[in-house]
Structure 1
Amino acid sequence: MTDIPISYQRINADMINKFKGQFVTLVGKLLQSKGDYVEFMVDGSIVKVTEIEEVPESNEDILLEIRGKLNDDGFLEAKEFTELDQTFDFELYKNVIVMVQGQFRELFYD
């Protein structure tokens, strides 16, 4: 059996412990490379991301949507990422995630 997800659940930093071992999507700001992982700021929390290839370089903040698998140690093993525009509204996104994982979950996930 292969480890290919059907979908990546969108979560925020407060939900990381609940989704360990699952495929997720996190949105945040790339902070810095630490050798075999990068630090990624999600909702004020630092998430360590491994297996991320060709990290973009820029003089301004790099905003990313990263899809991957959350390991039991809390590291996110990246499968793919998308660079976001600088106008991305993190507060609005966080509110949407609360609704997607809460009262409207059945509209988005089985």
Structure 2
Amino acid sequence: MTDIPTSYQRINADMIIKFKGQYVTLVGKLLQSKGDYVEFMVDGSIVKVTEIEEVPESNEDILLEIRGKLNDDGFLEAKEFTELDQTFDFELYKKAINMVQGQFRELFYD
């Protein structure tokens, strides 16, 4: 039986260590392909993403929301991704994630 998550917790780069082994959603900027993984910039930190298929190509920054499993080595094994609009507000998103994972966590997660 395949391990299929029912939800992905939204986190930021500061929370990666806490969520190793879990299914998460990260938002950031695609940097470059390194062969068997891509580098993904999340809150100023580089996250290595594996198993990502059909990475979009563009002359502009590519902003993505990637859902996947954080492995023990810190790599994100991508399950799916969504390309975001160039007007995405990273600072506002980071504030929202801090609230979702902090004082309002019980409203979003069990």
TM-score range, shorter chain: over 0.9
The TM-score with structure 2 as length reference comes to 0.99
The TM-score with structure 1 as length reference comes to 0.99
Taking the aligned partners of 1:31 and 1:85, their CA distance within structure 2 comes to: 16
Secondary structure class of the residue paired with 1:4: coil
**Deviations for 1:60-95, whole angstroms, at most 9, x for unmatched residues?**
000000000000000000000000000000000000
Secondary structure class of the residue paired with 1:96: helix
Taking the aligned partners of 1:75 and 1:102, their CA distance within structure 2 comes to: 24
- Measured after TM superposition, the shift of residue 2 of structure 1 is 2.4
**Deviations for 1:39-79, whole angstroms, at most 9, x for unmatched residues?**
00000000000000000000000000000000000000000
Secondary structure class of the residue paired with 1:35: coil
- Measured after TM superposition, the shift of residue 3 of structure 1 is 1.0
Q: How does 1:1-20 map to 2 (within 5 A)?
A: 1-20=1-20
Q: Percent identity?
A: 95
Secondary structure class of the residue paired with 2:91: helix
**Deviations for 1:15-41, whole angstroms, at most 9, x for unmatched residues?**
000000000000000000000000000
Taking the aligned partners of 2:3 and 2:91, their CA distance within structure 1 comes to: 32
Instruction: State whether structure 2 residue 83 is matched by structure 1 residue 59.
Output: no
Taking the aligned partners of 1:108 and 1:85, their CA distance within structure 2 comes to: 25
Taking the aligned partners of 1:107 and 1:31, their CA distance within structure 2 comes to: 34
Any unmatched runs of 5+ in structure 2?
none
- Measured after TM superposition, the shift of residue 13 of structure 1 is 0.1
Taking the aligned partners of 1:63 and 1:93, their CA distance within structure 2 comes to: 13
Runs of 4+, deviation exceeding 4 Å: none
> How many residue pairs end up in the alignment?
110
Any unmatched runs of 5+ in structure 1?
none
Q: CA RMSD of the aligned region, Å?
A: 0.5
Secondary structure class of the residue paired with 1:77: strand
